[in-house]
Structure 1
């Protein structure tokens, strides 16, 4: 391979820029030309493609978001849309593609691979919901953003002797809620992968209040339900003054942590290595701190799951 492309797709995540930088510089080190595709699969179809040099990715490793931008693209879900994308790749002489994103981005890479165009997926999503890797790019940064918010909210909760419900991202995955709740000392953590009993939550809050506890923090993943609705139920059931904070898109942005920068650099470079070895239709990840790759078709058939032992631990420590 003498020319490869790189794009970011789906929701942005801190560390995507570090991954793009790694792809570009690893490829150039191997004397391979790199082309950046702007605005994800939408830009692929419309031909928003340009050659990237070493300087093109200078001064971006510490920046959140993605230099290549990202966009949703319903047209790419059609066979006609994908044919347009491949035609653009062929027009620029691009022989392989690195796709940085989540499960939707992986699906696009899978479809291109099935049509004979080799792709390698790099897991970039704050939700940490891609099977085949212990961590995804952006998760650690989002986690630290949430923990910082929890610490600040706890100061206010203590001062006013209130219960706070904090809603975090995680439509189908509870990793952000679970990890931030455990690290932030939350009294209860509600995640999509586990049933919860409002009666148990209320009883725990009342027990804490009876022994002199002045404040409590409840973490709710958005996939469980509205934090506002849950907060209202808690206040009605306990009589304790309750406030709700929905963190929203603040979790997506910000300077990537050192862990995310290193992870992105390792995975981006590894993706290039696989393409140059002629291995398309793969996705990269990290397991037990070792770089791994999997068949992208098999990964998409798997279902993400949280660490149930960690969830059990969070319940034991919040008695």
Structure 2
């Protein structure tokens, strides 16, 4: 039995905006539809948008879905979230925001929020007359999961946008690896590749000459020790811990000695053979990106 929030159950038992929007050729208004998923794979979503052409504002949104409790609730939440937004504003809605609107989703059901985000993108690009292949590179990559038709491009996108670092998490977000499981090793390789690319980006950013950085930051004052500790804790609480907890682990700030950050890995992270990767990729890289390139994270 999944542990659903009250909001998820509310929108499952009493979905908002379920149904279709008929195109009555109303002057100044256009209806667009976005389709994702397939019934054969277990989940499918069709999103209908009614848009005011002069302002690009979404006047109404409705959905039709074939799927589970999370799929119905996520689709209903999405329609509530985008009504009143412009198309450009709606494109900024993330799958994480859909899940947050619902008060959270079970980790194994996060792919439902991803499906909602993809349907929204499809509907908006259809409205603008942009062919799918011109804006979505998911189908241009190498097929990794033949069971669900998922390419390496789509896996990379999910890893980057949601800071995933295990094949199990990738399965939860895009279903890849959830069938026969023969592609799990390939998924692990893709995760490593994305993390290496991210580390290179961080290294490139940190290699900018100090005088150049200062000129862009203006007269920003250095952080006090109290501010620095508070910022480190904030990054851990808001960006690192949710990912680790979802995978059965956790991290606690233990001590700070200059640029050396000491943490305690808990749960699955404490006994995991890849704990070093967790330290360097999930924690150290994030703190270096947010606070200082000189930070070193150690486990105690």
TM bin, normalised by shorter chain, reads: under 0.3
User: Which has the larger share of helix?
Assistant: 2
Give the structure-2-normalised TM-score: 0.25
Give the structure-1-normalised TM-score: 0.24
